[in-house]
Amino acid sequence: IVTASPDKWSAEVATLVGNGPFKITGWVHSSKIEFAKNDHYWDATAVKLAKMEWPISDSQSTRLSLVENNQADMMVEPPVVEHDRLTQAGLLRISPYLGIYYYVFNTQQAPFDNVKVRQAFSQSINREALVNNVVKGGKKPAYAWVAPGLSFDGKDFRDESNNYATENKAQAQKLLAEAGYPAGQGLPPITLLFNTGEMHKSIAEAIQEMWKQNLGVTVALSNQESKVFLESRSQGTFQIARASWIGDYADPMAFMDVFTDPGNDAKYHNSSYNKLIEKAQSTLDQPVRLTAMHEAEKLLFDDAVIIPIYYTTQPFVVKPSVKGYFWSVLGLADFKTAYIEK
């Protein structure tokens, strides 16, 4: 199946292979996915729902309206402006989520091929203000790369190292001047790229204003639909772009190997970083591998490869009648035992 259609087998109902409690029976791309109970599942007797339908939309408002108009029972990431109302109505839930929302620099494209410019842009952002006034949803300001929630011998990886990202307007201005761009003078046109979405736009507009106020730099905003956006990031046709990362397994390495060579979106190349990651990957000695990853994370910020913005949570709206579901810290929704209470 894979050989016959290597690029599309996992995106078409006729060729998609799975072994979970549900099987996909219909898929209208960018519109909806339909599921039916998998009677061949090993624990099929525990599966209560006969079928599910997942509407697809990039619009938070559209997704919320489906719930409020009784066309859906659950949705993720409701608009921030609706959080207070939804909380009062008993509909908003917030689940832990092992991830980070950040901006990534193209380190090979001017002016962000200069580490001092990257440092200046990072240090001129007020993460507390962003989280409290724009993002909300239980998010936490991020000052490093690896998200909290990964514990070893009772100690969280995040708590065992520094917060590497700093906020210092005066230092940011000094760094920009040292890079040859006092008060932003002489900088080439700069564009911040993000994928279409209400929250992405709100965050971009807030950061755009911070850069203008703190650095004197006017940054243009550009949004693209998700598929085009991901291609732009992969191909390096951007200067600075929105990004997010969710750990796909419970270890710091789920984050740390993202910026090794080759092919990371930042176009970042640092042999010392690569060697530290290789060291962590090649030993079972936990203290040794954790130390190597801490050192690698510090390098990532010495080189100012990213701007961490916030550690993620998963806000979602669910009707009280929906029972038996489970959200994991890896952002995976489990509906195996879900049911609708009558």
Give the pLDDT confidence of 42-98 residue by residue, as tens digits: 999 999 999 999 999 989 999 999 999 999 999 999 998 999 999 999 999 998 889
Domains 9-95+316-340 and 97-313 in one fold: no
- Supply the pLDDT for residue 103: 99
Pick the CATH number of 97-313 from 3.40.50.1820, 3.10.105.10, 3.40.50.150, 3.40.1410.10: 3.10.105.10
Please enumerate in sequence order all residues whose Cβ is within 8 A of that of 106, keeping only pairs 6 or more positions apart, or say none: 112, 236, 238, 239, 240, 241, 265, 266, 267
Average pLDDT over residues 199-209: 97
138: left (phi over 0), alpha (psi -120 to 50) or beta: left
Answer whether residue 294 shows pLDDT above 90. yes
Q: How confident is the model at residue 263 (pLDDT cuts 50, 70, 90)?
A: confident
Percentage of residues of the chain with pLDDT beyond 70: 100
Provide the residue type at 288 as one letter. Answer: V
Lowest mean pLDDT among 52-61, 107-116, 149-158: 149-158
Over its C-alpha atoms, the chain yields an Rg (Å, rounded) of: 22
Answer whether residue 115 shows pLDDT above 90. yes
Answer whether residue 1 shows pLDDT above 90. no
Please enumerate in sequence order all residues whose Cβ is within 8 A of that of 146, keeping only pairs 6 or more positions apart, or say none: 157, 158, 252, 255, 256, 293, 297
- Supply the pLDDT for residue 235: 95
- Supply the pLDDT for residue 4: 86
Q: Which of 42-46, 312-316, 332-336 has the highest mean pLDDT?
A: 42-46
Answer whether residue 137 shows pLDDT above 90. no
- Supply the pLDDT for residue 138: 87
Average pLDDT over residues 231-259: 96
Q: How confident is the model at residue 102 (pLDDT cuts 50, 70, 90)?
A: very high
Answer whether residue 161 shows pLDDT above 90. no
- Supply the pLDDT for residue 131: 95
Q: What is the rounded average pLDDT for all residues in the chain?
A: 95
Lowest mean pLDDT among 105-109, 160-164, 319-323: 160-164
Answer whether residue 251 shows pLDDT above 90. yes
Percentage of residues of the chain with pLDDT beyond 90: 85
- Supply the pLDDT for residue 233: 96
Q: Coil, helix or strand for 76?
A: strand
Residue 159 to residue 151: CA distance in whole angstroms: 9
Pick the CATH number of 9-95+316-340 from 3.40.190.10, 3.30.70.20, 2.60.120.620, 3.40.366.10: 3.40.190.10
Q: How confident is the model at residue 185 (pLDDT cuts 50, 70, 90)?
A: very high
In contact, 107 and 311? CB cutoff 8 Å: no
| 186 against 154, higher pLDDT | 186
Average pLDDT over residues 279-285: 97
Lowest mean pLDDT among 57-71, 286-300, 319-333: 319-333
Nearest residue to 309 (alpha-carbon basis) of 130, 132, 169 = 130
- Which residue in the block uniquely carries the two structure tokens 């930042």? 266
The domain locations on the chain are 9-95+316-340, 97-313
Residue 71 to residue 33: CA distance in whole angstroms: 14
- Supply the pLDDT for residue 252: 96
